Structure 1
Amino acid sequence: MDKAKVSTIGFTKTKAQGFFERLLKAGVKKVVDVRLRNTSQLAGFAKADDLAYFLQKIGEIQYVHQPLLAPTDRMLKAYKKESGDWSAYEKRFFALIAERQIEKCFKPEMFNDACFLCSEEAPHYCHRRLVCEYLNEKWDGALEVHHL
């Protein structure tokens, strides 16, 4: 198989129209929600049940919540207490997903035409990017990643 095409997207500071249009334009077939809590109030359309409904109705896109790819509550709280020390958070998160051995729980083809969803507007300081980097390292670059 060629590289699996994987996208990432955040919903903060975006309107529903732009969010769903980006997914459709990218040809996304499945949204993998990598948030710890998928009932966020940050955007009304991004709550788990509503999001699954909208994705199906708008683009026949499957919705899956995958907390195995999310940070722990403790990790998130520590990050906030440390005033956003990204390098410390990044190290902790990489250690967490290595401990979970996420590369053994999934296969690259499971993420083909999928999009990792989190709340952060941009991927620079978001764990969805870290998940992609970690898996690409473990899977010898099997993912072709695009940040929407």
Structure 2
Amino acid sequence: MMRPVHVSTIGFTKSTAEHFFERLLKADVKKLIDVRLNNTSQLAGFAKSEDLAYFLRKIGGIQYVHQPILAPTANILDAYKKEKGDWSIYEKQFTQLLESRKIEERLRPEMFDGTCLLCSEATPHHCHRRLVCEYLNSKWGSPLKIRHL
């Protein structure tokens, strides 16, 4: 049996930069995997891709990787966000997207050890970063030990 793979998730909205980076440092994150579709939005503040990569490296020696294969499509995201869609529909569509991309074949559990998945949502309840972890656990036999920061 494989040893547990420790993966965290975090959102940056409703958080100060200090609180955000302190949570990553306290969790001993080695690599941050950005699972946002749009990682350069002006609304992101300290979480814009180039700034975030710099801050992570300087503050905690944390590697930054953008992984759009783990992001929703613009259509799925817009239907939920802009059109105030139903979460259960979003969840189903996003899970189908992950299946069609065969992410469980393209990625390996050990790639996630010491990582943290980032998106914008403040909590994991209605967020695709949680769905990614749950989907991979369902396909891989639950090696991921998930902690929401």
1:86 corresponding residue in structure 2? 87
TM-score, normalised via structure 2 length = 0.96
**Runs of 4+ with >6 A deviation:** none
Distance 2:81 2:114 in 1: 33
Change in Cα spacing, 1:81 to 1:19, as seen in structure 2 (3 Å) is closer
1:103 corresponding residue in structure 2? 104
Can you give the 5+ residue segments of structure 1 that lack an aligned partner in the other structure?
Answer: none
Report if aligned partners of 1:12, 1:42 keep a CA contact under 8 Å in 2: no
Amino acid paired to 1:15:
T
TM-score, normalised via structure 1 length = 0.97
Pairs within 5 Å for 1:4-43: 4-43=5-44
* Residues 27-75 of structure 1: CA deviation (Å, up to 9, x unaligned): 0000000000111223311000000000000000000000000000011
Report if aligned partners of 1:36, 1:71 keep a CA contact under 8 Å in 2: yes
1:100, distance to aligned residue in structure 2 (A): 0.3
Amino acid paired to 2:129:
R
Pairs within 5 Å for 1:1-148: 1-80=2-81, 82-148=83-149
* Residues 79-134 of structure 1: CA deviation (Å, up to 9, x unaligned): 13542300000000000000000001110000000000000000000000000000
Distance 2:44 2:132 in 1: 23
Which piece of structure 1 moves more, 75-84 or 41-50?
A: 75-84
Distance 1:81 1:17 in 2: 29
Distance 2:133 2:43 in 1: 24
1:135, distance to aligned residue in structure 2 (A): 0.2
Distance 2:16 2:75 in 1: 30
Distance 2:94 2:57 in 1: 31
Distance 1:11 1:42 in 2: 11
Q: Per the alignment, in what secondary structure is the counterpart of residue 43 of structure 1?
A: helix
Can you give the 5+ residue segments of structure 2 that lack an aligned partner in the other structure?
Answer: none
Amino acid paired to 1:111:
F
**Matched residue count:** 148
